[in-house]
Amino acid sequence: MCNHLFNRIITLKYDILRPWRTLDPWQKDYCFDPVDSDNFLLTGRQVGKTTGMSIRSVELCMNHFKKGEFVLINSITEKQAYHMLAKSLVYATEKYSKQVIWKGDNKPTKHRLMFKNGTGILCYAAGETGEGLRGYTIKKIMSDEGSRMSEEYFIATLPALSIVGGTLDIASTPFGKKHKDGSEKFFYKCSKDDSFKKYFVNGEDCPRHTPDFLLKAKNRLSKLAYSQEFLAVFTDELKRLFSDEMIERICVLKRPIGVSPHRHYLGCDIAGFGEDECTYEAFKKVGKEIIQVESIAENRNLTTDTSKKIKTLDMIYNFKKIGIDDGGVGFGVWSELMDDNKTKRKTVALNNSARITDWDGKKHKKILKEEMYMNLQVLMEQNRIKLLDDREIKASLASMQHDDGRIFGSNSHHAEGIDRGVWLAEKDKALNIYVY
């Protein structure tokens, strides 16, 4: 008799909580590369670059760095940076739990992950200029969303690598080649720098993007937008919806203490599935001026939790109107608010894909999303709106782009809530919707 040996092939299903079990070939090469070189990652959206960087940061500390050598994780906002450090902590807990310092002054926090061999991972937001990062001596800087970081950030941080012979990993979806003055952006210049080891990751090659999803994205986005967001192609034809100058002029307010007797409005962006955020943007109307009074972001909750949060805010502000996108996941939240006698007369469905209908029954050519953003832009240009001086809000507005009549953004959650709240406040007299 012959003994036959069979190789059993086990196909592991992608687990968002343990992505290291099913890494793509390029991720394996990047994460476990023994050479500590400068790395440039130009990728489409949601292809696993943040996962790769979080795993590599741990591997460097565990297998390549000496005592006193550190990784510095930076992203545009604190939440984005925290997100990557959280992934590093999950990976380290699974693979190197005995090497993590769990107690005492060096226990894990939002800003650090320290190991018993004297290495560690530090985590801070890049900010607008990187000034708060001066003074560190770093072995590896990991800049996530580097295409959206300012030139001042790199001027402030790159000297930190000099003394210890450190290296830079910079990753992003592209965001234009040049500044307004015609000079090339730092990230684009890195794409042409031969000293970097380069990874180009096309979103269509990512096994987690299904053909059906990609087809829908291609049909919904303009050709240029799809090329940038999924194919990772540099395009300067896409235009910013809100300029840096406008954002700085409008985002100037501190959160007020107490609630004024003016009419208040709430705009919400309901989180989708996966690692997404809910945002709640509250405004008051003083004459013709619309003033933001609160901005809250939460990780995705159950629809019942989101509804409770809105009702709690309504108890504080007694909103005149509450704007909800009733499409997709938002339909559950909208339905719960409509079933409550306290909120049903003030809840307004603001579906991004809907078209406004005039009094004579004719529908506008533009969808509601475009109308709301154009309304927000006009009010900002007229200086009739003031927003909170909040880094997350600024980053969200800065990410918004338009092309071929379509509006989109890589960090749109705050902007989506803001445009709904502002729309309700501005159109208050026109909105007279009651449900009996």
Percent of the chain with pLDDT over 70: 88
Same domain? 117 vs 163: yes
Q: Give the span between the Cα atoms of 187 and 369, in whole angstroms.
A: 31
Residue 414: give its domain's CATH number: 3.30.420.240
Q: Give the span between the Cα atoms of 83 and 107, in whole angstroms.
A: 18
- pLDDT of 10 reads 44
Q: What's the pTM value of the predicted model, to 2 decimals?
A: 0.65
Residue, of 249 and 353, whose pLDDT is higher: 249
Q: Is residue 434 part of a domain?
A: no
Same domain? 224 vs 250: no
Q: Is residue 433 part of a domain?
A: no
Distances (CA, A) of 129 to 41, 120, 125, 414: 22, 24, 10, 22
Q: Is residue 431 part of a domain?
A: no
- pLDDT of 111 reads 92
- List, for residues 83-93, the tens digit of each pLDDT value: 899 999 999 99
Among 28-32, 103-107, 154-158, 361-365, the minimum mean pLDDT is found in 361-365
- Average pLDDT score over residue span 407-425: 91
Same domain? 149 vs 275: no
Same domain? 265 vs 394: yes
Q: Give the span between the Cα atoms of 171 and 145, in whole angstroms.
A: 6
Q: Is residue 59 part of a domain?
A: yes
- Average pLDDT score over residue span 301-316: 89
Same domain? 92 vs 183: yes
Query: Residue 402: pLDDT above 90?
Result: no
**Domain boundary pick from 188, 203, 229:** 229
Same domain? 90 vs 211: yes
Q: Is residue 43 part of a domain?
A: yes
Same domain? 66 vs 177: yes
Residue 78: give its domain's CATH number: 3.40.50.300
pLDDT level of residue 267 (50, 70, 90 thresholds): very high
- pLDDT of 59 reads 97
- pLDDT of 355 reads 57
Structurally, how many domains does the chain consist of?
2
Same domain? 26 vs 173: yes
| Average predicted confidence (pLDDT) for the chain | 86
Please, are residues 303 and 332 in contact by the beta-carbon 8 Å criterion? yes
Same domain? 255 vs 210: no
> Is the CA virtual torsion 361, 332, 399, 39 positive or negative?
negative
Structural domain containing residue 357: 244-426
pLDDT level of residue 364 (50, 70, 90 thresholds): low
**Domain boundary pick from 205, 229, 253:** 229
Same domain? 109 vs 216: yes
- Average pLDDT score over residue span 151-177: 89
**Domain boundary pick from 229, 264, 282:** 229
Q: Is residue 432 part of a domain?
A: no
- pLDDT of 430 reads 41
pLDDT level of residue 150 (50, 70, 90 thresholds): confident
Q: State both tokens at 301.
A: 């909750």
Among 8-17, 26-35, 230-239, 387-396, the minimum mean pLDDT is found in 8-17
Query: Residue 304: pLDDT above 90?
Result: no
